[in-house]
Amino acid sequence: MPIRGLEDNGTLTVKLGDEPGQQCSVKYSLPVKSKSDKADVAYTAVESHCFGVVPAEAARN
């Protein structure tokens, strides 16, 4: 999912729905650009995993 305007590192909260337990956190750290990088890159792709998702049935109990 495209996200703009982020700090160089941090934690994102992803909301998957309106039910309890339908959210998770993603910790990220963007790659450091070196001063020798002259190419203007339109975006940086970072792969991560969402942690903390609780099935809705378990969250209701």
Of the pLDDT bands very low, low, confident and very high (cuts 50, 70, 90), residue 61 is: very low
**Has residue 23 been placed in a domain?**
yes
Give me the number of domains the chain comprises. 1
Of the pLDDT bands very low, low, confident and very high (cuts 50, 70, 90), residue 57 is: low
Read off the pLDDT of residues 17-48 as tens digits, 9 standing for 90 and up.
Answer: 888 788 888 888 887 777 666 666 667 777 77
Rounded Cα gap, residues 37 and 41, in angstroms = 9
Can you give the pTM of this predicted structure? Answer: 0.56
Contact 24, 61 (CB under 8 A): no
Beta bridge partners of 12: 26
The whole domain housing 22 covers 9-31+39-60
Residue among 46, 53, 45 at smallest CA distance from 13: 53
**Has residue 48 been placed in a domain?**
yes
**Has residue 46 been placed in a domain?**
yes
